[in-house]
Structure 1
Amino acid sequence: MPSRIDTSALFSAYREQQGTRATRRKVELAEAAAKRRAAIEQVKRIGRTKRAAIKLLGGGPVVKRLNYALAARRPPRPPLPRLSPPTGGNGAHCVAQFPARVE
């Protein structure tokens, strides 16, 4: 049984949305790939710079080995922030305070 409502406009709007979604996805994927390539190139450039610096320093095999070990070290992590006790109250944060007993 055919519908009395014309759905061709609705279907064309749906197709248009699908087309714009597909093109937007292609653009986003291309941007992500470019960002990934740039990040890889940056890492390669840093590695080439480190190797060139070690080569310029010269020295024997032991010195080169030490220089490569120093260059491969990661910088130390910053210390974790210290947690401070909650503010407010009378200082008893974990112990329940009851009024003194009067007899």
Structure 2
Amino acid sequence: MLGKLPVLHGHEKGKGISSPVNQARGAFMRLHHTVLEGHGHRTSGHCEPDMWGSEVFCWSTGCLCDLRPEFARLNKWNWGFATVTVEPDSQFNVENFRITAEGKVRTS
């Protein structure tokens, strides 16, 4: 946890949604709870209101490793990272970044 933000690698969710188009939406569909995860190695975000009108945010981060490792030559990975600012009351702000092939950092 980072403040009130659950942070998962992503494998903890179990099987079912193995390679969704949007990793963050896949996390939302599985958990229905705000979360930051990195298992998919793809930068994405998803937000939906719950039944009480509170927003549920999910983020997935890119990776900082080789994009074409021997064990996974064909994939949809991208470079990326997130920063999380935690306030004194445990509220948080997530900034999710993607790194281009040229090395430029972009907000996602």
* TM norm. shorter chain > 0.5: no
Question: TM (normalized to structure 2)?
Answer: 0.18
Point out which structure has higher relative CO (alpha carbons under 8 A, 6+ apart). Answer: 2
The structure in which a higher percent of residues are helix is 1
If you compute each CA radius of gyration, which structure gives the higher value, 1 or 2? 1
Question: TM (normalized to structure 1)?
Answer: 0.18
The structure in which a higher percent of residues are strand is 2
